[in-house]
Structure 1
Amino acid sequence: MGMFSRMTDIVQANLNAMLDKAEDPEKVIRLIIQEMEETLVEIRFEAAKYIAQQKQFRRQQDKFQLEVESWMKKAELAMSKGKENLARSALQEKQKYAEQAKAIGEQLLQVDELLNDLQEDTARLQTKLSEARNKQKSLVTRKQSATVRLKAKTVEHSNKIENAMARFEQYEQRIDSLEAQVEAYDLTSKNELDDTSLNAQFNELTANDDIDKELAELKQKYAA
């Protein structure tokens, strides 16, 4: 079982425990992210150890391969000089280093497979971690939005708002009444002014007639 699988089991167990306790979803996702981040640290630590082993095995493998090549050349040299026993001994040494190189090669393959598994685990875990962080941001945003909307709805349905609006309407009606009184005064004053102006015009006509009459009488008196 890979480290990612073990981590998944741990997270799932903790998640189920928290859900059974009806924990806050935001808290649950935060703890999941924390466990994922801690697991990533463990994976990187394990990967660092395997990479160190990989480098060490490759150095040993290269060293053994050089020994194999060196003893092979010695065996060829011995045979070229007619020393078969010496060549045999050289081939035996060559075989010994070849077996060691093979063993190291098998260990190196195991380390390579472990590193590949860790890389796959890391990639899957990072994907899940990214999804969890996005989910966390979404939950925080939705929670903030819901909180603000709930506050708005609470205020909207508050009796204080209704009472204030009623008082505002009453005040508005009082203003309308005052404005109507002002308009009524203006209308009355205008009618009175129109009546006065009309009477003045008729009075002026009557006064002019009296003046014309007196003027005619004066002309007749002095003309005689």
Structure 2
Amino acid sequence: MADLLDRAEDPARMIRMIILEMEETLVEVRSCAARQIADIKEMRRACQRLQEIQENWTAKAELALSKDREDLAKAALVERQKAADIADGLREEMDQIEQVLRGYEADIAKLQGKLREARARQNAISARFESALTRAKAREVMHGSRTEEAFAKFELLERRADFAEGRAEALGISSLEDEIHELQASRAVDRELEAMKAALKARVN
């Protein structure tokens, strides 16, 4: 039984370790996805600020042109272009991150499916091992040495009971014979007593 228990523990422990590893991996992937989502949100806010900066430099360039300051207008347009280039770079980076996020979403869905399958199989395997252990215990009880010893004791007790009952019956028979013998002895005494009375009466007459 101990060997069976030892063998039963290893697969169960292995399944728990696999599930634990999958859960840890799922947490890690979700954490990475959460960081990427936070990065995208920050980049979108940065793109919004850069859009505002571009609009500001456009207004400044228009103002410079209205004052016949083409040099200042050109410089303002250069700064606007710098902001636009940074915004384009951020948008490209966001596109790449979104592709990575789609990969994370697919990985998370697959991991969740595998985890559900692993948990279901864990329950099924645990139920099978529990059933096997229960059956093994039942067979040990039916065929084990302790059970055989118990039934041997039952047989011994039954023999003792038979002996006690036989002895009681024998004692009852002896008692009956003793009573009958006493009756026979009493009858003989009565006959002898009558004979003595008759002899005395004959002598008197």
- Give the TM-score category using the shorter length: 0.5 to 0.7
> Matched residues, percent identical?
45
CA separation of 1:160/1:56 partners in 2, compared to 1, >3 Å: closer, same or farther?
closer
TM-score normalised according to structure 1 size: 0.57
1-structure distance, mates of 2:139, 2:131: 12
2-structure distance, mates of 1:154, 1:144: 15
Q: Which residue of 1 aligns with 2:20?
A: 34
- The alignment status of 1:151 with 2:137, answered yes or no, reads yes
1-structure distance, mates of 2:68, 2:104: 52
- The alignment status of 1:103 with 2:94, answered yes or no, reads no
Q: Which residue of 1 aligns with 2:164?
A: none
- The alignment status of 1:43 with 2:29, answered yes or no, reads yes
Structure 2 residues without counterparts, runs of 5 or longer: 1-8, 162-205
Bigger mean CA offset, 92-101 vs 153-162: 153-162
1-structure distance, mates of 2:146, 2:104: 62
The superposition leaves residues 168-223 of structure 1 with CA deviations (integer Å, 9 ceiling, x where unpaired) of 79999xx9xxxxxxxxxxxxxxxxxxxxxxxxxxxxxxxxxxxxxxxxxxxxxxxx
Q: Which residue of 2 aligns with 1:89?
A: 75
State the one-letter code of the partner of 1:134.
A
Structure 2 counterparts to residues 4-153 of structure 1, below 5 A? 24-79=10-65, 81=66, 83=68, 85=70, 86-153=72-139
The superposition leaves residues 7-49 of structure 1 with CA deviations (integer Å, 9 ceiling, x where unpaired) of xxxxxxxxxxxxxxxx922122111112112212322332233
CA separation of 1:160/1:42 partners in 2, compared to 1, >3 Å: closer, same or farther?
closer
1-structure distance, mates of 2:62, 2:140: 96
How far did residue 161 of structure 1 move?
4.7
The superposition leaves residues 87-119 of structure 1 with CA deviations (integer Å, 9 ceiling, x where unpaired) of 333322222211111011111112222222222
TM-score normalised according to structure 2 size: 0.61
State the one-letter code of the partner of 1:37.
E
The superposition leaves residues 76-96 of structure 1 with CA deviations (integer Å, 9 ceiling, x where unpaired) of 4444x2636143333222222
Q: Which residue of 2 aligns with 1:15?
A: none
**Considering only aligned residues, what root-mean-square deviation do their CA atoms show, in Å?**
3.8
How far did residue 153 of structure 1 move?
1.8
State the one-letter code of the partner of 2:20.
Q
How far did residue 159 of structure 1 move?
6.1
Give the total of aligned pairs: 170
The superposition leaves residues 110-151 of structure 1 with CA deviations (integer Å, 9 ceiling, x where unpaired) of 222222222221221122122212222222221111101111
1-structure distance, mates of 2:63, 2:44: 28
Structure 1 residues without counterparts, runs of 5 or longer: 1-22, 176-224
State the one-letter code of the partner of 1:41.
V
1-structure distance, mates of 2:22, 2:150: 53
